[in-house]
Structure 1
Amino acid sequence: MPVFGQKKYYGLTGLKLNIAIAVVAGTDFALFGYDQGVMGGLLTLPSFLHYFPQIDTANPPLGSNPSHASNIQGITVGGYTLGCFFGAVATIWLGNILGRKRTIFIGSTIMIIGAILQASSFKLGQLIPARLITGFGNGMNTSTVPTWQAETSKSHRRGQMVMIEGSLIVFGVMLSYWIDLGFSFLEPSTISWRFPIAFQIVLALFILITIPGLPESPRWLVLKGRDEEALDVLCALSNLPPEDKKIQSEFQAVKDTVFEMSKGGFKDCFTMGPNRNFHRTCLAYVNQMFQQISGINIITYYAATIFEQNIGLSGFLSRLLAACNGTEYWMASWIAIFTIEKFGRRSLMIFGAVGMSASMCVLAGTTSKVSTGLGITAAVFLFVFNSFFAVGWLGMTWLYPAEITPLSIRAPANAIATTANWIFNFMVVMVTPVAFANIGYKTYIIFAVINAFMVPCVYFFFPETAYRSLEEMDEIFHKTTNAFNVVKIANEMPHRFDKKGNIVIAYEETEEARMFQERRRSSIAREDASKAVQEHKE
């Protein structure tokens, strides 16, 4: 085992190493946000529509109609999210085989290939498959990065670290909007849209270069029997020697959990037993689904189109407002970074859903009629909706599923949950142009009702995970008997760590530790008995 203090992980330890992991993970999410937002600002660009006239909903090509063009536009934009879905599905099987770092490396490589194909497109037949390829790589990454982040973070900093990732998703969206706006001045040159699409390669290359030198998840290493490497990572992450009581307690907690759950796999996501795997997989899946059916991607993908075609602003002003919208969205996301640990996951999710529902109601009312005053109000509430989403749901679905699922199924369960993100993302992106073309302002009413429904669901079914170690969440679910009492149990069970990460209750003193030790002794006794019988037969 490498000697404690030996220079590795770029010479970083403790908080600096945690920040380095957050930077690389955050860059991946900035890449994700950038790729989500970049296409929205190009959909009304003349030079872009010259090569892809089939997606022009304002002036559809001869022999077509707005409804058909809206379908093609939905397929083109949504092809990326469909690719993400298949990438997430692939990670269900590949995640635990490859490990967290290798999966992210491969995913980023695939994204670079897809971005090159997108930026060099001349026909729709090349652009759509290229977006599928890019999405496939991103689906692998977004299924893995939150797990890697959660498994290398301390319980008192985990929420903040992942919320920074959420903020960086929006930073990527914002960056794409401003680059779209800036390069639109190069019209009619195709650089006006080829460069914005190609720029994502820069972010992907940064990930490829930096991730090999960072630590693998200690929990995955234990799962694979690489205990010495796992202990070394834990020491580096805490900047403490191996014999430190805190390190030994954390290492033993991880080992006991792995010992108990090492036989888990994809099929175990759909079983109950004492770990309540299916219950926890469902919570992760629904959490991701709620984020997407809130309606956020109406704005993320189609902000410039909404400003131009639904509110009636000019092309330049629409792209400018979309960029400003993305900037305000990013600024609002920082609120969650400083409140996620103070108020907890549940409070922010409920707060966000209430605000989003109210915003959608206002948008429905203000877009039901055409007037300058109502148009301005509608534009303002596109900003307001984004703010509530940024605080309550933006980073939450990359944090909560990784916290709620047990180690043995964490990779496949998070991949399953991420498929919900992408398949419902695809549904919303596909339906939005068609819905606006057919039912107009009533589209917002549908999303207002959905967001209102999310409030009681979170209150009654989603347990709090703030200041809980990943092993503590296992203990909470071991005590759970049905979907209705898990919130109560989580609220009543004492915390092992305080709000600064200090040990309050040593792992060895917990009922969970005693249970694991008893099961381990029983398992060893059974193995010894089995060996004795075998030796007697021989």
Structure 2
Amino acid sequence: MLGIPKYFGLRGSALNFAISWIAGLDFLLFGYDQGVTGGLLDLPSFTKYFPDINPEEPGIGDALKSQRSSNQGIAVAAYNLGCFLGAVFTIFVGNPLGRRMTIFIGSVIMTVGALLQCTSYDLPQFIVGRIVTGWGNGMNTSTVPTWQSETAQAHARGKLVMIEGMLITAGITISYWLNYGMAWIGEDEVSWRFPLAFQIVFALIIFGTILNLPESPRWLVMQGREEEALEVLVALNDKDHDDPFIANEFESVRLTVQEMSKGSYASLFQMSEYREFHRVVLAYVCQMFQQISGINLITYYAPILFEKINLEDNNYPKLLAACNGTEYFLASLVPIFIIELVGRRKLMLVGAAGMSLSMVALAVSLHVLDTGNKKAGPAQAVFLFVFNTFFALGWLGMTWLYPAEIVPLRIRAPTNALATSGNWIFNFMVVMITPVAFDSIGYKTYIIFAVINAFIFPVVYFFYPETRYRSLEEMDDLFKKSSSVFDIVSISLTEPHRYDRHGQLRQDYIEDIERRMSVREDAKIEHSDSS
């Protein structure tokens, strides 16, 4: 590759780190795209070109204000619609193209979309640019976790997925602080064109390096390119070709591919002893819950929400949004360290309860603000921070981790594609209706999301099993023992674990296996003697 050493001359841990860095950069770009637009909507240099999405223009009537609120929702949510289309598109082209090429093409498409946005002079071009950018991002976010998990060492996968969630908030934070800095420029167009163009920097790094990093060995085996898969495993593990570890890893990859080849999209709707459809529903609803919690109501419109507390001077709304993003990022670090200690269920339950109560507090404080009492402004600001904190703890990275843990290996790929598309379509719905909802029903918008989050709590409590310290094979066995949607939780909490917190087989499990084998041997001997 243009005289550059293969894999940049990296092997072992250094090569794994490079893959994680590029994968993380893509999720950082994902977060940046989510946060950047909300800080531009009130800039005079922006609304000059796009007045049709400015419902706050003085002197316009209620009818026009309502129409512009709808236009704003459509313009902002066009990105999410593009993400949904890109995710669906990847279902069909992901395997033929391969992991690296899909990410490469997705990053190129994002670059084209960013160029369309930052050079826009009318609303149709801007909306098309957002759809194109979203299309590329949908391709990337559907592929990057798969590429990373298929190249990462097994013991690091869970933590890496949670780190990806943290990097989304890092991207959001960067976009908020950049918007705050640009807001001081005044009416110069660079204040909104530069933040939209800046995302190209991340995309350039991704598509400039991705093709010189290893392809997924699992995908290579699927394509019959076993020699290349072996070379990748040698480089990733920094071992010799004849090392027994490499032979074992290669055989594991082959067995995994054979198992995956047994699945199909029709398998998603089966209810065999593995209860496939039951598990698919859990994965899809988990992704849906993340979006209908209302997080992107805040992520996309934070500066506008902070304007409602009467802090228009000195760009305080953008400063508060930037501080909110920073605190959101810091909160997202916590699950990385406690996810295995606390477990999935407890984090999801705490998150849902906290988000519901936060939405109640936001509804009450906004209602008081609407009556003219400005003393409720600080409460409104505080609970926007509090909501993000609970979301970061319970739901930010969880919905990228849990579906992969809950579904059988043979349908993992189609299930993840389906669940990811669900994430984006509900994301689109929330972002599109938010301006309209606030314009039509005001503080009651928060009440809707308070009720939704309250509903999430019992659903998780009664239907979502704990996957902590469970292998994929263990989850298969747990669902085999399940006879309905109501007993899987109790089974997951009471069934003995095979592995301890360090990933080693538990001694009592080993003793139980040895005891069973001894009983079988004795039975064989008795049967032989009787014969």
Partner of 2:19: 21
- The reply on whether 1:166 has 2:165 as its aligned counterpart is yes
**In structure 2, C-alpha distance between the alignment counterparts of 1:18 and 1:481, rounded to whole Å:** 41
- The reply on whether 1:391 has 2:390 as its aligned counterpart is no
Task: Give 1:81 deviation, angstroms.
Answer: 0.4
**In structure 1, C-alpha distance between the alignment counterparts of 2:263 and 2:59, rounded to whole Å:** 54
Of the structure 1 ranges 33-42 and 64-73, higher mean CA displacement relative to structure 2 is found in: 64-73
Which AA in structure 2 matches 1:427?
A: M
Question: What aligned pairs does 1:369-380 form with structure 2 within 5 A after superposition?
Answer: 369-370=368-369, 371-380=373-382
Give the 3 Å change call, closer, same or farther, for CA 509–154 of structure 1 in structure 2.
farther
**In structure 1, C-alpha distance between the alignment counterparts of 2:275 and 2:229, rounded to whole Å:** 26
> Among 409, 412, 426, which residue is 2:411 paired with?
409
Give the 3 Å change call, closer, same or farther, for CA 424–60 of structure 1 in structure 2.
farther
SS at match of 1:367: helix
**In structure 2, C-alpha distance between the alignment counterparts of 1:60 and 1:268, rounded to whole Å:** 56
Of the structure 1 ranges 299-308 and 276-285, higher mean CA displacement relative to structure 2 is found in: 276-285
Task: Give 1:503 deviation, angstroms.
Answer: 5.8
**In structure 1, C-alpha distance between the alignment counterparts of 2:360 and 2:154, rounded to whole Å:** 37
> Among 479, 482, 485, which residue is 2:484 paired with?
482
**In structure 2, C-alpha distance between the alignment counterparts of 1:475 and 1:221, rounded to whole Å:** 30
Question: What aligned pairs does 1:129-208 form with structure 2 within 5 A after superposition?
Answer: 129-208=128-207
Task: Give 1:470 deviation, angstroms.
Answer: 4.4
Partner of 2:336: 337
Partner of 1:77: 76
Partner of 1:420: 422
Of the structure 1 ranges 145-154 and 463-472, higher mean CA displacement relative to structure 2 is found in: 463-472
**In structure 2, C-alpha distance between the alignment counterparts of 1:97 and 1:373, rounded to whole Å:** 59
**In structure 2, C-alpha distance between the alignment counterparts of 1:253 and 1:479, rounded to whole Å:** 26
Give the 3 Å change call, closer, same or farther, for CA 264–305 of structure 1 in structure 2.
same
In structure 2, runs of 5+ residues without a counterpart are: 514-531
- The reply on whether 1:457 has 2:459 as its aligned counterpart is yes
- The reply on whether 1:39 has 2:37 as its aligned counterpart is yes
Question: What aligned pairs does 1:269-348 form with structure 2 within 5 A after superposition?
Answer: 269-308=268-307, 310-314=308-312, 316-348=315-347
**In structure 1, C-alpha distance between the alignment counterparts of 2:488 and 2:167, rounded to whole Å:** 32
Which AA in structure 1 matches 2:68?
A: A
Give the 3 Å change call, closer, same or farther, for CA 148–459 of structure 1 in structure 2.
farther
CA contact (8 A) 1:92 1:413 kept: no
SS at match of 2:368: coil
**In structure 2, C-alpha distance between the alignment counterparts of 1:245 and 1:392, rounded to whole Å:** 40
Partner of 1:530: none
**In structure 2, C-alpha distance between the alignment counterparts of 1:239 and 1:178, rounded to whole Å:** 40
Task: Give 1:240 deviation, angstroms.
Answer: 5.0
Task: Give 1:374 deviation, angstroms.
Answer: 1.0
Task: Give 1:175 deviation, angstroms.
Answer: 0.6
- The reply on whether 1:437 has 2:439 as its aligned counterpart is yes
Which AA in structure 2 matches 1:9?
A: Y
- Residues 16-57 of structure 1 show CA distances to partners (whole Å, capped at 9, x for unaligned) of 333322211111111111111100000111100000000111
- Residues 119-146 of structure 1 show CA distances to partners (whole Å, capped at 9, x for unaligned) of 1000001001110111111111111222
SS at match of 1:465: coil
In structure 1, runs of 5+ residues without a counterpart are: 1-6, 512-538
**In structure 2, C-alpha distance between the alignment counterparts of 1:480 and 1:18, rounded to whole Å:** 38
What is the RMSD computed on CA atoms of the aligned residues?
2.7
**In structure 2, C-alpha distance between the alignment counterparts of 1:96 and 1:159, rounded to whole Å:** 23
Task: Give 1:199 deviation, angstroms.
Answer: 0.5
> How many pairs were matched up?
503
TM, length-normalised to structure 2: 0.87
CA contact (8 A) 1:496 1:504 kept: yes
Which AA in structure 1 matches 2:400?
A: W
Which AA in structure 1 matches 2:349?
A: I
Question: What aligned pairs does 1:173-252 form with structure 2 within 5 A after superposition?
Answer: 173-240=172-239, 251-252=250-251
- The reply on whether 1:361 has 2:360 as its aligned counterpart is yes
Give the 3 Å change call, closer, same or farther, for CA 234–284 of structure 1 in structure 2.
farther
Partner of 2:516: none
SS at match of 1:173: helix
**In structure 2, C-alpha distance between the alignment counterparts of 1:199 and 1:328, rounded to whole Å:** 23
Which AA in structure 1 matches 2:312?
A: S
Partner of 2:448: 446
CA contact (8 A) 1:159 1:341 kept: no
**In structure 2, C-alpha distance between the alignment counterparts of 1:149 and 1:468, rounded to whole Å:** 20
SS at match of 1:199: helix
CA contact (8 A) 2:310 2:374 kept: no
- Residues 401-421 of structure 1 show CA distances to partners (whole Å, capped at 9, x for unaligned) of 233334443332212111111
- Residues 237-290 of structure 1 show CA distances to partners (whole Å, capped at 9, x for unaligned) of 444556666655555444334323413233332333344332232222111100
**In structure 2, C-alpha distance between the alignment counterparts of 1:152 and 1:504, rounded to whole Å:** 27
TM, length-normalised to structure 1: 0.86
**In structure 1, C-alpha distance between the alignment counterparts of 2:133 and 2:512, rounded to whole Å:** 46
**In structure 2, C-alpha distance between the alignment counterparts of 1:275 and 1:455, rounded to whole Å:** 26
Which AA in structure 1 matches 2:335?
A: A
Give the 3 Å change call, closer, same or farther, for CA 34–404 of structure 1 in structure 2.
same
Which AA in structure 2 matches 1:434?
A: V
* Larger RCO, structure (CA 8 Å, separation 6 or more): 1
**In structure 2, C-alpha distance between the alignment counterparts of 1:430 and 1:324, rounded to whole Å:** 25
CA contact (8 A) 2:30 2:137 kept: yes
CA contact (8 A) 2:268 2:280 kept: yes
CA contact (8 A) 1:159 1:466 kept: no
Give the 3 Å change call, closer, same or farther, for CA 15–448 of structure 1 in structure 2.
farther
CA contact (8 A) 1:114 1:130 kept: yes
**In structure 2, C-alpha distance between the alignment counterparts of 1:225 and 1:482, rounded to whole Å:** 40
Partner of 1:352: 351
Task: Give 1:94 deviation, angstroms.
Answer: 1.9
Give the 3 Å change call, closer, same or farther, for CA 261–415 of structure 1 in structure 2.
closer
CA contact (8 A) 1:403 1:465 kept: yes
CA contact (8 A) 1:93 1:266 kept: no
